[in-house]
Structure 1
Amino acid sequence: MATHQKIIRTWSGWTTLENASAYEKFLVEEVFLDVKKKGVDGLEKVSISTLTHNEEVQFFLVLQFSTLEAVKKFAGENYKMAYIPEKAKQLLKRYDHTAKHFELKQELLL
């Protein structure tokens, strides 16, 4: 029985301490809400994690897609490039210019 592998897309961006809550709110209330409204099929899950170090906050995003084609619907044909809306660029101190893509092999719920 053939199965397709889910794709995990990871990316990091860093904000100042002052911009961290605004950026998180922007992700939740604008970016991913817009993605859902646009009907990007295949985006199954988004995890937003943070790490505070010195005077900045790292945001580590993990997006789970059903297929690579779904990733391309989200990010475009040049899907390895990071998706950074203009407002995000105003809130971020720095960010990865590319995203990494992994095939999900196993998921264990313990």
Structure 2
Amino acid sequence: MKERKIPLNLNCGLDLVGEVLYGKWKIRLLWFIDQGHKRPSELQRKIPDASRRVLNMQLKELEHHELISKTIYPVVPPKVEYQLTEFGKSLIPVILAIGQWGDANEKRLRALIEVQESQEV
């Protein structure tokens, strides 16, 4: 297991949520699993910019935090499916609200991100 460079800080709910959901693809993974995309290959197609390795790591972390569960079917070739736990399902309204906020502020956010990107080049 890797050693943390910054000590773990869990002083409030936001720290806890950040620790569980930190990762570029975790929110999208939860959303897509809720929408019915349960196989790793389906999730990879939904998030083509993410490497298979990173998706697997983030799926494993979501499973560790009990937001998703993994079912391995005893067939050849092996079949794996993910599903949200009840705990994970409780996050979907929060993710929906964040997505709606992003949609409502899309132009402003896009412009701010583009300015930041142009300054970093």
Give the TM-score taking structure 2 as reference length: 0.27
Give the TM-score taking structure 1 as reference length: 0.28
Which of the two has greater strand per residue? 1
Larger radius of gyration: 2
Which of the two has greater helix per residue? 2
